[in-house]
Amino acid sequence: MRPIEWKNNILYILDQTKLPWKEDYVLCFKYQQVIDAIKKMKVRGAPIIGVVAAYGIALAAIKYTGSNLVDYVHEVMGEFAVSRPTAVNLFFAIERMANVVNTNRNLSPSELKILLLEEAKKIEEEEREKSIAISNFGIEILPDNAKVLTHCNTGSLATIGPGTALGVIKEGWRKGKISHVYFTETRPLLQGARLTGWELAKENIPATMITDNMVGYVLSKKLVDLVIVGADRITLRGDVANKIGTYSIAILAHYHNIPFYVAAPVSSFDFNLEEGMEIPIEERDSEEVLSFANKKITAEGILALNPAFDVTPAELISGIITDKGIIYPPLKENIKKLKEELRL
Ligand SMILES: CSC[C@@H](O)[C@@H](O)C(=O)COP(=O)(O)O
């Protein structure tokens, strides 16, 4: 199963809104279709959003027949930048593509188009490698026979490679360190139930789904030894934006003395932001909350909140598993060290 594929100037995107019922690909011939797929969450998860945006920008360039390719690509990048605001990987990928354009302005349009496509392929390959590295580093935090809880979907569908949090879980299972996985259904769009369940079943990993409001029960009964989740954006002090509900899980884990880990590539860090409250949180259409299985579940006139993410403060996090190793508390100090080491 490949979550995306680039073939003959077409970007194929496995439509995650149709899983697990149907394995259907959306064919993107135009960059607008890529933006639409991101907005409608046909493709979702922080790392893959960046990869898909890079291909979308390359696709726009390849299809352009006008006389000012550089300005056009910048306009397109602006459109991608407002597709989903929280995952910083999107902006990381746009910046990489912008660098290619800005440093090669003097090349012919056809040469520039080739370079843009090469950069998108490079970003894809790098994300794959990063998620393999995270999966391997993560083994260190797993006790023997571990029972683990995760939230949302952080697997191959979200990352190209094995995954971040789910990558650690898959590798832990392969190495005999994990005995059971609990995962939340993840309302309102059920990325846990539909996508994580689908990936775990494909790998034959013993798994139990719980509804989002069962986390307190599961942790109080000591059914799990640790929690691992992904991230959409991590600030300099180690605050983490991730799928709505993550913050509640972190508080419950803290109360019950259960380690709470985050797994994310360095491309999920936003070194421009200090505090979690600075992270822009995507507000989605309230209809997603007001309905279930395409059926309205409230009386007419009832309103609903629909923030897609929340922020977990650094104090609640036991460690961040990255593609460069594990960052332990004090997170602020150690993130600063990593930034300096990587010269970012
Ligand atoms: C490796 S994916 C990490 C995060 O992107 C993931 O945990 C998450 O919150 C996804 O949210 P989504 O709204 O499904 O894009």
Whether 321 contacts 138, CB under 8 Å: yes
102 and 168 share a domain?
A: no
| 14 C-alpha to ligand 1 centroid (Å) | 16
pLDDT at residue 293 in the model: 81
Asked whether residue 344 carries a pLDDT value surpassing 90, the answer given is no
Cβ–ligand 1 distance for 185 under 6 Å, the answer no
2 is in an annotated binding site: no
Query: Which class for 45: exposed (0-12), middle (13-18), buried (19 or more C-beta within 10 A)?
Result: buried
The pTM of the full predicted model, rounded to 2 decimals, is: 0.97
Give nearest CA residue, ligand 1 atom 9: 243
Confidence of residue 259 (pLDDT cuts 50, 70, 90): very high
166 and 302 share a domain?
A: yes
**CA dist 287 to 40, 80, 293, Å?**
13, 23, 12
Task: Looking at 139-259, list the stretches that DSSP marks H as alpha helix, in order from N- to C-terminal side.
Answer: 156-159, 165-174, 197-202, 215-220, 246-255
163 and 49 share a domain?
A: no
Whether 139 contacts 177, CB under 8 Å: yes
Confidence of residue 1 (pLDDT cuts 50, 70, 90): confident
Asked whether residue 63 carries a pLDDT value surpassing 90, the answer given is yes
CATH number for position 39 = 1.20.120.420
56 and 163 share a domain?
A: no
| 321 C-alpha to ligand 1 centroid (Å) | 16
147 and 117 share a domain?
A: no
pLDDT at residue 255 in the model: 98
Is 71 a residue of the active site? no
**pLDDT tens digits, residue range 133-142?**
999 999 999 9
Please tell me which residue in 225, 232, 270, 310 is annotated as part of the active site: 232
Domain hosting 302: range is: 134-341
Q: What percent of the chain has pLDDT over 90?
A: 98
pLDDT at residue 282 in the model: 98
103 and 142 share a domain?
A: no
Cβ–ligand 1 distance for 44 under 6 Å, the answer yes
81 is in an annotated binding site: no
Query: Which residue out of 151, 152, 266 has the highest number of ligand 1 atoms within 8 Å of its CB and is therefore the one to mutate?
Result: 152
243 is in an annotated binding site: yes
| 151 C-alpha to ligand 1 centroid (Å) | 9
**pLDDT tens digits, residue range 144-180?**
999 999 999 999 999 999 999 999 999 999 999 999 9
191 is in an annotated binding site: yes
| 244 C-alpha to ligand 1 centroid (Å) | 9
pLDDT at residue 62 in the model: 98
Q: Which of 97, 132, 167 is the last residue of a domain?
A: 132
285 and 167 share a domain?
A: yes
Task: Looking at 175-245, list the stretches that DSSP marks H as alpha helix, in order from N- to C-terminal side.
Answer: 197-202, 215-220
Q: Which of 132, 157, 177 is the last residue of a domain?
A: 132
Q: Are strands 319-322 and 309-312 parallel, antiparallel or unpaired?
A: unpaired
186 and 158 share a domain?
A: yes
277 and 170 share a domain?
A: yes
Ligand 1 atom with the shortest distance to the CA of 229: 7
Cβ–ligand 1 distance for 152 under 6 Å, the answer yes
**pLDDT tens digits, residue range 238-253?**
999 999 999 999 999 9
113 and 167 share a domain?
A: no
pLDDT at residue 14 in the model: 98
Domain count of the chain?
A: 2
Cα 309 from Cα 232, distance rounded (Å): 8
Ligand 1 atom with the shortest distance to the CA of 151: 7
79 and 141 share a domain?
A: no
ipTM: 0.98
Q: Under DSSP, is residue 204 helix (H, G, I), strand (E, B) or coil? A: coil
208 and 261 share a domain?
A: yes
| 8 C-alpha to ligand 1 centroid (Å) | 29
Q: Which of 92, 108, 132 is the last residue of a domain?
A: 132
CATH number for position 205 = 3.40.50.10470
44 is in an annotated binding site: yes
